[in-house]
Structure 1
Amino acid sequence: MSLWASATTSESGRRADLLRDKQRIIRSFFKYTGKLPSEIESADVQSWLKALEEQGISAGTCYQHACLLSSFYSWAMRDPEIGQHVRRNPARLARPKAPKPYQTESVKALSDEEVAALVAAVKGRAQGGDVVGKRDYALLLLYLATGLRRQEAIGLRGKDVHLGGTLVLEYRAKGGDYRGREVREPQVKEALLDYLTASGRLYALKTDAPLWTRHDRAGRPGEALTSHCFVKNLKKYAREAGVEGFHLHRTRHTFARIVSEVTGDITATQNALDHQNRSTTRVYVQRIAVKKDLYSNEVSKRWGD
């Protein structure tokens, strides 16, 4: 597996990260199936992709995972030794069509009413004194207030959080670069401190311990919260709030919608989303923003009373 990753990854400043991520994805597939590479069928790949979708993984990410698996099999078939055992590529037929960027249900921004309903549902559990509810409430507010990507927020460690006059986060952004982000909304800081206090984990600050941990699995104190576990909870809250088709990435798109509406500036929105290319932000905003009606009143004058 390491030979495949090395052979298919170009030299760059992020090569070490890419090698690690590619191997992690392929290992996760074989762990899921419990089979040897030569035993895999297309149905195994389809089952894995379906499981990823059920975890809230986006269609684009699932497609990328399928492409990596197909790349691994293509390489294995060409290898003189491994190719004697691996004679076909089960991922090629199982690979879904490449999704168009920002053209799926999961990219829809939440309406203001849906945001309020979802936050109220999670806040209700938090106010009941439940530690899981307090954690989910703090993390949801963080996602909504910052527009951070899935792993950027859930992967935070205690040392990444700085509590001064305002909350400041340090995190690894998409592309491998480190970023610092100020969060001025006091409710986010208050919810985070409430969670850490209730869970007896204030000590985690300034340490390498995970900021968010599981509290619903006996015998494993301090285990890092997974995005799968959090998304599962969020979907339950969303159903209670009457929010249909909820995906975690919709919090980022909601953030983008609001920033775009408030600023009306594509550059400001690009900076807030931490996009490297303005064209990405433009497509993003065009898909999620509601176009303002500037002309219907004028047009109506033409058809009379």
Structure 2
Amino acid sequence: MSLDISPAARDALANWLEACKALDGAAENTLNAYRADVLDFIAFLTAHHAEPQGLAPLSAVTTTDMRSWMAHLRRREVGARSVARKLSAVKSFYRWLARREGFEATAVLSARAPKFQKKLPRPLTEDAARAMIDTVEMQSTDSWQGARDAAVVTLLYGCGLRISEALGLKGRDLPLGSTLRILGKGGKERLVPVLPVAIKAVDSYLALCPYPVEPDQALFRGARGGPLNPRIVTKVTEKARMQLGLPASATPHAMRHSFATHLLAAGGDLRAIQELLGHASLSTTQAYTAVDEVHLMKVYAATHPKA
């Protein structure tokens, strides 16, 4: 991005991102999003004031500047959720910068994000989740690739893994036991139970895989032997959901949502589910309680004699 920004301001942004990585354990994708959001804000200020943005102009941002920026985003038809995310990144940067440079950042920190309806996870039913695993396996003409895809999706649903976590498994993680140590977002480790059905699915894949799995190599391999690309899993899942007549929300990530929702519906403890999912905040996991409440209300409305 070509942007008229002083070296001092550029260094400040780089140092803040480094602090986010070192102190908060922010993942690379998160850091890239932070960088893009703050640079987008600085780009607006540059155009708005028609002058380069150094530390002094950045520290002099006013409430009017913030309102103008938010209006600018609305004119660009940026959604409320994205505006809130951008504002959160800018506030975080300013909170750090104000402490470092010793200026008052109230104008930025007091800006209010637009309200938006949080999207609830859209889990599959238990039957649909099982059907998805079975149908995914039939999308490839090569039996070993079908077994591989089924093993990946089984881990997403059976262990609540993110797709990046499942595809990040190495040969050294074998043989799978009753628990699996997962390195999740921000480098946070967690232990997840491994169901016998997941162990069986991985063993079936390994029995057919034409490539030797070395300790430092990816467990799940692509057609040519390299690490499996997540787009392949997304593609076969899309084919399977279309065959099953499932909605577009039936994605690989929906299998993880389904894992959490089904555990909660069966009486699982919210804190335990938080640990299993690797959520840093309980508030993230609490979205599943809303999903379960929606289900309960549907059952109530359909079955209560006075409904």
For the criterion TM > 0.5, the same-fold answer is yes
- Check if 1:116 corresponds to 2:113: no
Q: Which runs of 5+ in 2 are unaligned?
A: 2-9, 47-51, 55-68, 83-115
Q: 1:79 to 1:228 in 2, by over 3 A?
A: farther
2:79 is matched with: 96
- Check if 1:14 corresponds to 2:22: yes
**CA–CA distance in 2 between the matches of 1:152 and 1:101?**
29
**CA–CA distance in 2 between the matches of 1:267 and 1:230?**
30
**Cα distance, 1:250 vs. partner?**
0.8
1:70 is matched with: 37
**Cα distance, 1:255 vs. partner?**
0.6
**Alignment match of 1:175 (pick from 182, 186, 192):** 186
**Cα distance, 1:181 vs. partner?**
2.3
The answer as to whether partners of 2:188 and 2:278 remain within 8 angstroms in 1 is no
The answer as to whether partners of 1:109 and 1:257 remain within 8 angstroms in 2 is yes
The answer as to whether partners of 2:133 and 2:150 remain within 8 angstroms in 1 is yes
The answer as to whether partners of 2:163 and 2:230 remain within 8 angstroms in 1 is yes
**Alignment match of 1:133 (pick from 139, 146, 149):** 146
**CA–CA distance in 2 between the matches of 1:231 and 1:133?**
14
1:233 is matched with: 236
2:164 is matched with: 151
The answer as to whether partners of 1:213 and 1:222 remain within 8 angstroms in 2 is yes
Which secondary structure state, in structure 2, belongs to the residue aligned with residue 11 of structure 1?
helix
- Check if 1:269 corresponds to 2:283: no
Q: 1:178 to 1:271 in 2, by over 3 A?
A: closer
Which secondary structure state, in structure 1, belongs to the residue aligned with residue 190 of structure 2?
strand
**Code of the aligned partner of 1:120:** D
TM score, norm. by length of structure 2: 0.64
Spell out, residue by residue over 1:20-62, the C-alpha distance to the aligned partner (whole angstroms, 9 max, x if none).
Answer: 4467x4xxxxxxxxxxxxxxxxxxxxxxxxxxxxxxxxxxxxx
The answer as to whether partners of 2:162 and 2:256 remain within 8 angstroms in 1 is yes
Which secondary structure state, in structure 2, belongs to the residue aligned with residue 224 of structure 1?
coil
**Cα distance, 1:282 vs. partner?**
1.9
The answer as to whether partners of 2:190 and 2:275 remain within 8 angstroms in 1 is no
**Alignment match of 2:296 (pick from 286, 291, 295):** 291
The answer as to whether partners of 1:102 and 1:284 remain within 8 angstroms in 2 is no
**Which structure would you say has the larger Rg?**
2
Number of residue pairs aligned between Structure 1 and Structure 2: 238
2:264 is matched with: 260
- Check if 1:191 corresponds to 2:205: no
Identity %: 21
TM score, norm. by length of structure 1: 0.65
**CA–CA distance in 2 between the matches of 1:254 and 1:153?**
16
Which secondary structure state, in structure 2, belongs to the residue aligned with residue 109 of structure 1?
coil
The answer as to whether partners of 1:135 and 1:192 remain within 8 angstroms in 2 is yes
**Code of the aligned partner of 1:190:** K
Q: 1:124 to 1:264 in 2, by over 3 A?
A: same
Q: 1:15 to 1:242 in 2, by over 3 A?
A: same
Q: Which runs of 5+ in 1 are unaligned?
A: 26-64, 81-88, 216-220
Q: 1:154 to 1:260 in 2, by over 3 A?
A: same
Runs of 4+ in 1 over 6 A off after TM superposition: 295-298
Q: 1:186 to 1:19 in 2, by over 3 A?
A: closer
**Cα distance, 1:142 vs. partner?**
0.5
Which secondary structure state, in structure 2, belongs to the residue aligned with residue 9 of structure 1?
helix
Q: 1:268 to 1:15 in 2, by over 3 A?
A: closer
**CA–CA distance in 1 between the matches of 2:24 and 2:287?**
30
The answer as to whether partners of 1:256 and 1:285 remain within 8 angstroms in 2 is no
The answer as to whether partners of 1:9 and 1:19 remain within 8 angstroms in 2 is no
